[in-house]
Amino acid sequence: MSATASSPPPPGSVQFDEASSTVMLRTAASCYVLRVDRTEGAVRHVHWGAPVPAADAAELPVWTGHDDSFEGRRDGVEEYPVDGGARFGVPALEVRFADGSSPVEPRVEDIRINGGNHLVIALRDRSRPLAWELHYRVPSGGDVLERWTELTHTAGPDAEPLHLTRCSSAHWPLPQRPGWRLSSVHGGWSAENRLERTALTVGETTLTSRRGHTGHHANPWVVLDAGHADEEQGETWATALATSGSWRLTVQRTAARRAGVVASEGHEGVEIPLAPGQRYVTPISVAVYGTGGFGDVSRAFHAYVRRHVLPHPDELRPVLYNSWEATSFEVGEDNQRALARRAASLGVELFVVDDGWFGARDDDRAGLGDWIPHRRRFARGLRPLSDEVHRLGMSFGIWVEPEMVNADSDLFRAHPDWVLHLPDRTATELRHQLVLDFSRPEVTEWAYGWLHALVGDNGVDFLKWDFNRSFTEAGGHGGRPARQVHVEHARGVHRLLDRLRAAFPALRIEGCAGGGGRIDLGILGRTDQVWTSDNTDAVDRLTIQHGFSQVYPAGVMSAWVTDSPNPLTGRSVPLAFRFHSAMAGVLGIGGDLTRWTGPEIEEAARLVQRYKDIRPLVQHGRLDRLLAPGEGLLAAVQYTDAEARRTAVLVWRSSTSFGPAHPPLRLRGLDPAARYRDEDTGAEWSGATLAGYGLPVPALPDGDCASALVVLHRTGRPESEGSRSMSPW
């Protein structure tokens, strides 16, 4: 290795020691070491954790299991385990060859490093026409590793296809520890992102979506620790998968105290036919190691999303208004104009027309697929409304659901074969709609045509792209197996979004799937924000947003202020609490503004301006979760700019209870030698005091659902030892 024997390679690099066939990948605070055995055709894992000197890495032993006829000596250690030989762990690669056989026998072909930060290990089967490359990359400026796999059918053009039945992005082996704890999120529609930490049992634990989309019920990421980490300290290992279709993360813990994560497209596997000469590229899997607890890992993911995933990471997302809860399917030009005027008076920057503007869309039983303006409600088309919204100083957005169709639509009557269903089975309708097969090029070509016309002809600046049901009867008319459709549909969506954004570089898009049903690193690479949940209850949102923040940054988390009582839960919540809850992400307003009182409109306008003031901190700053919702009387989050010049703290109390006063909030990420002033009260403390003693809890209004926002700025006057003296006792 090129680094000296006493030091690790520089961050953001890949180093190869040819004598020992050892590779080290370095991030800012971690290293990942593997060893290539050309004789056995194996790529074995050595170390993933704190940095070690390069000379030591080359000498570290590779762990092996018991040498007996019942153990797989490579299990838990191979970087990319295949189905074949004495391997009994979870495989990353399974193949069905043309003769029906499946065992794979790897051989190492080549090792190369591209650009100093991209490792490629080329392998192939020793006798069958299959080659695959393991790709490792260290993105610049962070603590993240990327991995993916590329597979190729190497036979001549006259050969039979082979089928990939499992082709994982990566296997991430972890070190030996006495025990392991698994962190993940679970839930359902309107109850997404419920964070759960449980002991990892020996065996295989699988998180998955069988729905054809990322899903409300789980999300494709996991965090593992040895059971001792908390928000601020402790070793943690995390991985996520950038896929938007069905997926599977299998976390394996062996009796030998090893653990590992296999990250894959498809819920039970895939069914990808590979023709001679054809190449298949898996989604990227992303992983982080940190020593600063769960908060450290979250901030590494947040920085990665901003630097390497989002199309426009430097932009501030606008304050939006969405008309759905005000007008539902009664949307029309006149009521939208009235709402737009009210929204503009609040300081809203983006006005979004929701469902009901098209076709024969008088309710959710008809019209999906017929993307022309409703003849009665928008007799003049959409352009007059778009022009009026622009005249009021706002951008114009509109809701679409391109992947769905109602049976009562002109599209379905013309193309019943475009939907996911089997010819001899009853097509299952959910929400009175069927799923269009976006794995088929003719379907995505149709969608691109009307989307291009909609955006181009009507001055559309923003699309809310929705997806309101899961897959059933996948396959059939398209001639593709269901497992293939479960992954290829999402790839068709990705390609369509890429094409649309290339045609309209100024277009911005919000991803939505009945709320948080399609949130992942894959969709974030093609959208600017995501709708977090259809549940807009400000108290429930604190829990949803807490789980969301474990991997995804606040700058992509769309959150609305809606009416009280809440239309879903019936809970009554003060306007300030509703705003403070939504101000923790990308602020939106979704209530019926025509029913808000004059004082409510005035208060809302003040709070919109307050949000715009702290928006750079929330959307681009460092996030610290100070107090988790549900674990005590208060919940609190802190946002701080990169230079620690300014910080904002949001505090919520969902319910009152008798007891002692809450201890001060110990802030994080501030300059200990500087002083910070409360912009509202003028109170001033040193950064050291705010971290060590804490920020006194601000006075909260009486009663349930009380909240506060505290903003501190650095005064530029460092703490002086001689500025104030204290008499000795």
Q: Under a CB-based contact definition with an 8 Å cutoff, are residues 378 and 357 in contact? A: yes
For the purposes of burial, counting CB atoms within 10 Å of the CB of 359, is it exposed (0-12), middle (13-18) or buried (19 or more)?
A: buried
Other C-beta atoms lying within 10 Å of the C-beta of residue 314 = 7
Q: Under a CB-based contact definition with an 8 Å cutoff, are residues 646 and 711 in contact? A: yes
The one-letter code for the residue type at 716 is G
Residue 31 to residue 54: CA distance in whole angstroms: 10
Residue 261 to residue 204: CA distance in whole angstroms: 10
Active-site pick, 296, 466, 520, 671: 466
Q: Under a CB-based contact definition with an 8 Å cutoff, are residues 41 and 106 in contact? A: yes
Closest CA to 82 of 272, 90, 275: 90
Closest CA to 582 of 482, 709, 479: 709
Q: Under a CB-based contact definition with an 8 Å cutoff, are residues 639 and 618 in contact? A: yes
Residue 527 to residue 464: CA distance in whole angstroms: 10
Residue 221 to residue 240: CA distance in whole angstroms: 4
- In which element (H, E) is residue 13 found? strand 13-17
- In which element (H, E) is residue 273 found? strand 272-274
Torsion of CA 218, 223, 228, 229, to 10 degrees: -110
Q: Where are the beta strands (DSSP E) in 556-633?
A: 557-561, 586-589, 622-627
Q: Under a CB-based contact definition with an 8 Å cutoff, are residues 658 and 626 in contact? A: no
Furthest C-alpha separation in the chain? 94
The SS3 of residue 435 is strand
> Is 466 tagged catalytic?
yes
Residue 214 to residue 319: CA distance in whole angstroms: 27
Active-site pick, 143, 534, 537, 540: 534
Q: Which residues are catalytic?
A: 466, 534
